[in-house]
Amino acid sequence: MNPRRKFQVMSAATLGAGVFALGAWAGPHIEQVALNGPAASQAATAAVASAAVPMTEAPDYRSIVARFGPAVVNVRVDGTATPGDDDGDGAAERGSGQDNPFGNDPFFRFFRGPQMPRGPVPTHGLGSGFVVTPDGVILTNAHVVKGATKVMVKLSDRHEYKAKVLGSDPATDIAVLKIDAHDLPIVRLGDSDQLQVGDYVLAIGAPYGFEQSATSGIVSAKGRSLPGDSSVPFIQTDAAVNPGNSGGALINLKGELVGINSQILSGSGGSIGIGFAIPVNLAKSVMTQLIATGKVERGRIGVVGQNLTPELAKALGLKDAHGALVARVAPGSPAEKAGLKAEDVIVAANGKAILDMPELRNLIGLLKVGDKVELTVLRGGSTKQLTVVVGKNVEEKISTGGKNGKESGPSTLSPKLKGATFGAPEEGGKGVQVTEVEQNSPAAEGGLAPGDVILAVNRHEVNGLDDFQKYASGDGDLLLYIRRGDGALYLVLQ
């Protein structure tokens, strides 16, 4: 994390807050008063407006904390870290403990001054977690235990145990610990898919080392994608979570765990009412694999895709912008075997509506290798049903080619491409390569970048510069199909 940013998304490393959604506020009591004339009309209108808002008792936070609070634990970590490690996963969020009593606090880095030791240094950190089985299986954040040489767990009754890390998955920021204990209080795992924006939640953890602290709030949003966390559809909440809460529980009105507090957005290091929790449904799948094998094997179907914007939907002749646009299908992949093609739009998977590419990726990521996923696909104005068998995650590289000195004549192209020069890709491949893009030019504003290889224009395949000049002329919108780096994407230049 870069301390020069005004606001940052930070690991609530050592965050440990659990969230409980509990009820609604009690509304004001309205007395009936006998009135005549305009006053009566106004009173009636006010009564109708008030009656439209259901009034219930305030959430019983006290009972939920009393019942489930004992399952939330403190996690103390000794380990090593390299100063200046800003990979965002918490490795640099633990301090040496000599100048910071809350060593694992990512935000106290702002107050330590410019002098930092070089090379690996001992670290001491604080975090939170919660017990999920009576025999001592505990969930927490992966960033809390990264680089740990010793992990200690303190229960609510103040008994301490040395913990073993059964497995850690940095991609989802989930780790599983095990302590040698029995008959422990546990949390009940709920269904995060049932959460709705506005639901009350309660967070319990150890912010700044203050054990068994509880804060309340609501679910502010669902399915948040954060930079560097593409595999996690975060739950956003305004419950106050702070350093020391990482790994804590987020609980709903039924007293069920719905999320694991992980990160906060902050400009000062403290809570500003924007926190992020990992959905428990994702945690369940990861936990099962970590307990069984110590690692997570993610399934993939072999597509590169992107969100369907209104501009892309219009260019593709679609009515709305809901769905995941397939930009490329890997050769020999499960997707290719099932019949998926570039330009397909996936609008549902296993009966669940798909709004964008992250939602599809998250759904596939919860499946195991060998599982089947039923996809509803829009193609050429018709709807198709395809069945894909989830396969192993195998990376595939695509050559992007390089620059050469042969450029096209930009005067024959659409004004939307002004500021860019083009040439044939090296190695004699198909398409036209973008060799240069002037800053702030129409081409740059449209999304083109040096190294892009344009494979099609307005759905016409481009085999060379002649094809490109032919199809990219005129003033109309341009739908470009581009190979970029290891993937592919569609761009619309309006």
Residue 135: strand, helix, or coil: coil
Cα Rg, the chain, nearest whole Å: 27
Angle value at C-alpha 192, between 190 and 197, nearest 5 degrees: 130
According to DSSP, the β-strands at 256-266 and 188-189 are: parallel
How many whole angstroms separate alpha carbon 366 and alpha carbon 361?
A: 9
Q: Write out the two tokens for 131.
A: 């017990």
Q: Give me the numbers of helices (H) and strands (E) for the chain, helices first please.
A: 9, 31
C-beta of residue 487 within 8 angstroms of C-beta of residue 427: no
How many whole angstroms separate alpha carbon 107 and alpha carbon 127?
A: 14
Residue 200: strand, helix, or coil: strand
Of the listed 89, 105, 169, 173, which one is catalytic? 173
E strand segments, 358-452: 372-379, 382-389, 391-392, 420-423, 432-437
- Please, which residues bridge with residue 131 across strands? 138
Tell me which residue of 94, 126, 102 sits closest to 16, measured CA to CA: 126
Q: Which DSSP letter does residue 177 get?
A: E
How many whole angstroms separate alpha carbon 277 and alpha carbon 191?
A: 14
How long a stretch of residues is the chain? 494
Q: Write out the two tokens for 343.
A: 């330009």
Q: Write out the two tokens for 298.
A: 């993610």
Q: Write out the two tokens for 230.
A: 């593409």
C-beta of residue 174 within 8 angstroms of C-beta of residue 290: yes
Distance of CA 271 to the CA centre of its chain: 19
Task: State the residue for tokens 């439209």.
Answer: 52
C-beta of residue 325 within 8 angstroms of C-beta of residue 303: no
Annotated catalytic residue 143:
yes
Q: Write phi, then psi, for 68 (nearest 5 degrees).
A: -110, -15
Annotated catalytic residue 467:
no
Of the listed 128, 216, 225, 246, which one is catalytic? 246
Q: Write out the two tokens for 204.
A: 């319990």
Annotated catalytic residue 85:
no
Of the listed 105, 128, 143, 169, which one is catalytic? 143
How many whole angstroms separate alpha carbon 58 and alpha carbon 27?
A: 9
Q: Name 380's Cβ contacts closer than 8 Å, sequence gap at least 6.
A: none
Residue 163 CB: number of other CB atoms within 10 A?
26
Tell me which residue of 481, 137, 158 sits closest to 341, measured CA to CA: 481
Query: What positions carry a catalytic annotation?
Result: 143, 173, 246
